[in-house]
């Protein structure tokens, strides 16, 4: 089993270096896209260019099903021969949603509440973007269970930037 590390943009290169990750997911605003970190091949750096919003807004890019479908495809492409680093600007919303989506993708029949609870134990500040989760729930045929699991979490602690956290990439089936 491999690990997903979630961090803010400010800790991206340090996290990649310290973990030896060769795969990265960037979920970030179009004006904040970082270069591919040293040690990661460009084809192993997935860039999910979206704003952290949960509804359409003029001049911003809201998460759409095609964005999440691409994220799911990248998760399936990850060779799991080492950790994966997922980040957004603050390490709170888009990145925690992406980590949850990746874990659900790689854990076909695992209980969504178990995965969400593990996310919460790993980070008190994780606050997954619900629109991203809603799209993934439909694409993965989870029948509302992913959304319900995130909505059932204790509220996140407010912060401007999260600390690095990690969680397993795969969970056992219920």
Q: pLDDT for 112-171, tens place per residue?
A: 999 999 999 999 999 999 999 999 999 999 999 999 999 999 999 999 999 999 999 999
- Structural domain contains residue 86: yes
Instruction: Judge contact between 167 and 110, C-beta under 8 A.
Output: no
Q: pLDDT for 86-106, tens place per residue?
A: 999 999 999 999 999 999 999
How high is the mean pLDDT of the chain? 96
- Structural domain contains residue 109: yes
- Structural domain contains residue 122: yes
Predicted confidence at residue 1, as pLDDT, reads 55
Predicted confidence at residue 145, as pLDDT, reads 98
Q: Which domain holds residue 59?
A: 3-159
By percentage, how much of the chain surpasses pLDDT 90?
Answer: 96
Q: Report residue 174's pLDDT band, with 50, 70 and 90 as the boundaries.
A: low
Predicted confidence at residue 172, as pLDDT, reads 86
Q: Enumerate the H helices of the chain as residue ranges.
A: 12-19, 65-77, 94-106, 112-122, 130-139, 145-151
Residue 71, domain CATH = 3.90.190.10
- Structural domain contains residue 166: no
The pLDDT of residue 11 is above 80: yes
- Structural domain contains residue 21: yes
Total domains, the chain: 1
- Structural domain contains residue 106: yes
- Those residues with Cβ within 8 angstroms of residue 159's Cβ, 6 or more apart along the chain or in another chain: 90, 92, 125
- Structural domain contains residue 92: yes
- Structural domain contains residue 171: no
């Amino acid at each position: 089993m491999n690990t997903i590390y979630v961090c803010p943009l400010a800790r991206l290169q340090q996290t990649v270096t310290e973990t030896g990750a060769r795969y990265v997911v960037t979920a970030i605003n179009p004006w904040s896209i970082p270069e591919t970190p040293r040690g990661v091949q460009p084809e192993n750096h997935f860039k999910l260019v979206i704003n952290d919003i949960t509804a359409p807004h003029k001049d911003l890019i809201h998460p759409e099903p095609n964005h999440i479908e691409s994220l799911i495809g990248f998760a399936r492409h990850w060779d799991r021969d080492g950790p994966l680093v997922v980040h957004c600007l603050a390490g709170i919303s888009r990145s925690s949603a992406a980590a949850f989506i990746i874990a659900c993708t790689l854990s076909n029949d695992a209980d969504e509440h178990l995965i969400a609870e593990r996310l919460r134990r790993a980070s008190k500040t994780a606050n997954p973007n619900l629109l991203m989760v809603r799209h993934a729930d439909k694409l993965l045929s989870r029948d509302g269970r992913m959304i319900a699991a995130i909505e059932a979490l204790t509220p996140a602690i407010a912060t401007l930037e999260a600390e690095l956290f990690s969680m397993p990439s795969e969970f056992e089936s219920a």
